[in-house]
């Protein structure tokens, strides 16, 4: 049961540029989370935005949430080579407790 879909599937940029990834979902959510995965490693939680929030910042990350469009975006400003990774959005359904549903991810490549 795929809930979130990230777009684009892959993104290639130069160091210093901004990277924007989008996530769309299908049903009402409690919150939406973004995770990063470096190649061959586990996922790392980046940021959580609740359904009653519209924007949230953490360092070079900015997340927006539009519940009317059922979409979220993750902006990474001034990208670095170390930001090269896959990025996943995950949603929590109101009735599903702690279980998260992940999208297929966006693969970001940042070249120097």
Partner 1 sequence: DGGITQSPKYLFRKEGQNVTLSCEQNLNHDAMYWYRQDPGQGLRLIYYSQIVNDFQKGDIAEGYSVSREKKESFPLTVTSAQKNPTAFYLCASSRTGVGQPQHFGDGTRLSIL
Helix (H) or strand (E) holding 100: none
One of 11, 43, 63, 110 touching partner 1 (CB under 8 A): 43
- Contact status: 40 vs partner 1 (CB under 8 A): yes
| Exposure string for 33-64, b = 16+ CB within 10 A, e = fewer | bbbbeeeeeebeebbebeeeeeeeeeeebbbb
- Contact status: 106 vs partner 1 (CB under 8 A): no
- Read off the tokens for 28: 């009402």
Compute the distance between CA of residue 88 and CA of residue 111 in angstroms, rounded to an integer: 20
15-23, 56-64, 76-84, 88-96 -> range binding partner 1 (CB under 8 A)? 88-96
CB 41 → partner 1: shortest distance, Å? 5
- Contact status: 88 vs partner 1 (CB under 8 A): yes
Residues lying near partner 1 in the complex (CB under 8 A) are found at: 1-2, 30-31, 33, 40-45, 48, 88, 92, 94, 97-105
């Amino acid at each position: 049961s795929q809930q979130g879909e990230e777009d684009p599937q892959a993104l290639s940029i130069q160091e210093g540029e901004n990277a924007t990834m989008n996530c769309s979902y299908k049903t009402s959510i409690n919150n939406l989370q973004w995770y990063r995965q470096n190649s061959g490693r586990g996922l790392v939680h980046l940021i959580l935005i609740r359904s009653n929030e519209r924007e949230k910042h953490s360092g070079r990350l900015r997340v927006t949430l539009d519940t009317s469009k059922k979409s979220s975006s993750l902006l990474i400003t001034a990208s670095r080579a170390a930001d090269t990774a896959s990025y996943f959005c995950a949603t929590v359904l109101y009735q599903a407790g702690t279980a998260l549903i992940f999208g297929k991810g966006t693969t970001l490549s940042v070249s120097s």
